Structure 1
Amino acid sequence: MTKKHTSPVTPPLTLEQAHEMIHKLMERIAELEDRLKQNSGNSSKPPSSDGPGGIPPARPRKRSGKQRGAQPGHQGQRRQRHPQDERVSVTPYFPAAECACCGGNMLNHTKPHRVHQVFDLPEVSYFVTEHQLFRATCTRCINTDEAMLPDTVSHTQMGTNLLSYIALQSGQFHQSISQIQRQLQQHFGLHFSRGAISEAQGRVSAMLTPTYQAIKQQVQSAPHIHADETRHQRGGERRWMWLALSKVAVCFMTAFGRGQDAARRLLGELPETSALVTDQYAGYRFVATEQRQLCWAHVARNVAAIADSSEQVNHPVGARLVLLADMVFRTRHRWENGKLKHEQYLRRLRRCRQSWRVQLERGMMLCSSRYRGRCRFLLQDDDMLWTFLTDDRLALTNNEAERALRGYVLWRKGSYGVWSQRGELFRQRILSLVETAKRLGRCPQQWLRSVIRACIEKTDYPIPEELCVSSHSG
């Protein structure tokens, strides 16, 4: 094996060359130190990368002086008595028939003085419905005919409940196919191959096609939309999982890339009355400036990185930008809590916007080259930072989209990705149903069961009224 030799660094020959090299090395050291200081508070790194100790929050709260736990006067929460139905079995207990003091007869009360209920789970098993198809032969012409399986019976070996269980174990509880296989064996005594489980997910994916289309249409026509994206793996290829959500629906979509084509396919023709909340990613640049709101949580992390940088010249500008970003959040929260009138709210934010622009212009001149571009981009996108001033219902951050993506990120970490188009379609559709059910306050299991049952039994397909675009009022 031959060793790879790197060319040695040419030493400086003059004093000017030495000064130039020192300057470059100092910039390189500052850049490496800034990378070491990166955390979830000043970069796009997830909080899980901060380690067990974590980092102090960007906007620390003042200590209240109270001890942890319930405070005096707090009304405790207790489980209510389960109503009497077929799931409750009653076992009465009575005192002895004779009095322990005098030996007299004891008269039992009609109502118990105390009720103690113990909840338990039954022994879970499965049942099999065997459909026997017979042949019949004509006694005159010896013609043989055979019975056909009814259309209302599943043509596979999995029924409605089993299909919904397999689908939700992946989409809601982030289990891999191997883990689902072990659960079926351990909990139910069922033995299915991983291929059979994957095929079952593909069948559920096909059944969810109308549901997914309704969710996507509702999101694309909503007045306020949040969008985000994250990495997605198919085999050895890197792809992207996109997400767009509205007040009542969440739509996932897999794509080959992270460009504008994928964003256009996800968002469709954005209505002129709609507003989009995103980060500063350039893939959303096709959206008009007046229809786009940048996430202030991302902006706060960007300016926190300037304040935490190693170069002293960045500190004053970064610290002032952090204070102004914090003022935006505090003013918004005070107005939402009713502590500020609307006129005061707008007046303070307009003053804050003026100071914000001044500090960004100073940063373009005073900050190091590493952060000048960050200040310049924020100044160019200034109009998109303050769109919320024209629409009080518009959110300051894109946290809703990031929270909706969290379930997929956990699923991605615990599995090996997907290996086919069928797997990608299943992921985007089951995730859309699960996250939409959360926003609608519905049970994902009941919704999915009704969809599968309608497809198997050939009945009316269930579409929630909230997803009908014609009846949606925003």
Structure 2
Amino acid sequence: MADLPEDIVSLKAALAVAERRADRAEAERDTAVAEAAHAQAKASGIEALIAHLKLQIEKLKRELYGTRSERTARLLDQLELQLKDAEAALSEDEIAAEQAAAKTTLVASFERRRRGGRKPFPEHLPRERVVVPAPTACKCCGSDRLRKLGEDVTETLEAIPRRWKVLQTVREKFTCRDCEGITQPPAPFHVTPRGFLGPNLLATILFEKFGQHQPLNRQSERYAREGIDLSVSTLADQVGACTSALRPLHELIERHVLSAERLHGDDTTVPILAKGKTVTGRIWTYVRDDRPFGGPAPPAVLYQASRDRTAEQPETHLKDWTGILQADAYPGYERLYAGTRSPGPVTQALCWVHARRKFFELADIAKNARRGKSAASISPMALEAVKRIDVLFAIEREMNGYPAEQRLAIRRERSRPLLVDMETWMRTERARLSRHADTAKAMDYMLTRWDAFARFTTDGRICLSNNAAERALRGIALGRRSWTFAGSQRGADRCAFMLTMIATARLNGVDPQAWLADALARIAEFPQSRLHELLPWHWAAAAHQDKAVAA
């Protein structure tokens, strides 16, 4: 206190100096904060750009060279998640940088470098013009003599909550003046008995439950938030009624699938509630897809549900079917291949992806690198087997969609010599290995079933992989985490029923929800002799023709 001046003028001067010093320190602090936020946003932008480029590189490599390893699909999913996280972090840091820069004039606002311009919004979306009130005076001189020079339009995509409406179907009554009889149009058709929900709403409920894996209780809660009281029991009742109404179409799809000369088969686990606990049930799939060999039949998929995985299940599902079954080496299929089977034995064609996976797990260089010192050594023979199998897959990719005869000719010329050489190499190397070696077990998996693996060189319709069936089960494997378990065996059967409808529509490039809505609205009054016209592939062709006529 002794160093402070005693007169007021000197005190004011000292106070002004102190205030300027404090302002300067605060400005420097704000500048430092803004620069740090700017740097953080820049770093986040670089991180998002790197994630984006990695994802693009992997996608381009996959397009150019096909699936390079067993983990490629998993890697793409991880990169997608990484990119989403990086984009979210970038947006947060970008806003923080802009807010920090606004506090100081020394740091420019952060400008994000975009990876290409934003795509324009679709033309079919309605536009609502919101005009900001124009100024009434010049901000420079205050004059009110303003003349419009032009305008700038900023487009913002917005979503309007779902609109609900009640359709009132009015049936007027008329009386005859001659006979006093009463005439009235018939009552409108409802999709479900004593139903009060329209086909579009029913299709939404079905698709969200079985196509988007949203349980009915979640749907009921969302409808309640929108002011519509639809209890879970009401929704469940409507789902059961729709299943009954759509059964004729399901039977046509089932008949179409089981008339194929070749099927893909596989199964996955589904917990089923039973007596207060869950049992490990199964969803089986049988896929008809003739597109790899240029077949004209439309693709379709059939699902079946069961409480167990015994051999009786596929035997029951395919009891009247004969043909080529592409599947894994599950022992439960063995009864189908028996020569004494009636109506005849099924031809076995095993999946090379399953065989490759056993070798790849022993030769996964990237996985071993992540494990570090605890990683097991790479098996040179497993790596060699993977390389040889990949050559066969490369040949297959070149002739995808070719007719069966042409595929068979190419396989005989190019694939069969490689296959003979692979068998000779594998049997020679196997003789040098202990029966307990992991590589030996992978070789035995193929050598003990070599005829079934080599069958693709005798029939051009056979594919090298069973990926069609695995793709059909992928949605179930992801969705069961959402709905946890099927409430009963009937519930599992109903799930398989609706999955057949939805997956078949998707295979044919049809919007499942739109198709279900139209099918539900028309199926009751549709002639039985023309019911096949409502199948997804015919429905899509008719819709395309209607659009062409309208144009």
The answer for the alignment partner of 1:262 in structure 2 is 313
Is the counterpart of residue 194 in structure 1 residue 232 in structure 2?
yes
The RMSD of aligned alpha carbons is 4.5
Aligned partner of residue 284 in structure 2, secondary structure: strand
The answer for the alignment partner of 1:291 in structure 2 is 347
* Distance change in 2, residues 1:354/1:165 (3 Å): same
Aligned pairs (5 A) from 1:176-215: 176-186=215-225, 188-215=226-253
Give distance in 2, aligned partners of 1:152 and 1:402: 40
* Distance change in 2, residues 1:337/1:253 (3 Å): closer
TM-score (norm 2): 0.58
The answer for the alignment partner of 1:126 in structure 2 is 164
Q: What's the offset of the Cα at 1:327?
A: 2.1
Structure number with higher relative contact order (C-alpha < 8 Å, ≥ 6 residues apart): 1
Q: Pick from 177, 187, 194 the counterpart of residue 150 of structure 1.
A: 187
Aligned partner of 1:292: which letter?
Q
Give distance in 1, aligned partners of 2:205 and 2:507: 22
The answer for the alignment partner of 2:518 in structure 1 is 450
Give distance in 1, aligned partners of 2:220 and 2:534: 31
Is the counterpart of residue 161 in structure 1 residue 210 in structure 2?
no
Give distance in 2, aligned partners of 1:363 and 1:311: 24
The answer for the alignment partner of 1:82 in structure 2 is 123
Is the counterpart of residue 381 in structure 1 residue 449 in structure 2?
yes
Give distance in 2, aligned partners of 1:353 and 1:229: 29
The answer for the alignment partner of 1:245 in structure 2 is 287
TM-score (norm 1): 0.66
Give distance in 2, aligned partners of 1:89 and 1:198: 39
Q: Pick from 300, 315, 326 the counterpart of residue 277 of structure 1.
A: 326
Aligned pairs (5 A) from 1:399-410: 399-410=467-478
Aligned partner of 1:323: which letter?
K
Q: Which has the larger radius of gyration?
A: 2
* Distance change in 2, residues 1:212/1:129 (3 Å): same
Aligned partner of residue 159 in structure 2, secondary structure: coil
Aligned partner of residue 386 in structure 1, secondary structure: helix
The answer for the alignment partner of 2:534 in structure 1 is 463
The answer for the alignment partner of 2:85 in structure 1 is none
Aligned partner of residue 225 in structure 1, secondary structure: strand
* Distance change in 2, residues 1:323/1:190 (3 Å): same
State the identity %: 21
The answer for the alignment partner of 2:433 in structure 1 is 366
> 8 Å contact 1:42–1:303 — kept in the other structure?
no
Is the counterpart of residue 420 in structure 1 residue 478 in structure 2?
no
Aligned partner of 2:264: which letter?
H
Instruction: Describe the superposition over 1:212-240 as per-residue Cα deviations: whole angstroms up to 9, x where unpaired.
Output: 11111111112332111001121012211
Give distance in 2, aligned partners of 1:277 and 1:419: 31
Unaligned runs of 5+ in 2: 1-68, 81-114, 136-145, 172-183, 290-298, 339-344, 369-373, 540-551
How many pairs were matched up? 379
Q: What's the offset of the Cα at 1:253?
A: 0.8
Moved more, 280-289 or 425-434: 280-289
Unaligned runs of 5+ in 1: 1-40, 55-73, 97-104, 134-146, 469-474
Q: What's the offset of the Cα at 1:205?
A: 1.6
Q: What's the offset of the Cα at 1:318?
A: 2.4
Give distance in 1, aligned partners of 2:401 and 2:415: 16
Aligned partner of 2:309: which letter?
R
Moved more, 430-439 or 254-263: 254-263
Aligned partner of residue 230 in structure 2, secondary structure: coil
Q: Which has the higher helix share?
A: 2
Q: What's the offset of the Cα at 1:106?
A: 9.5
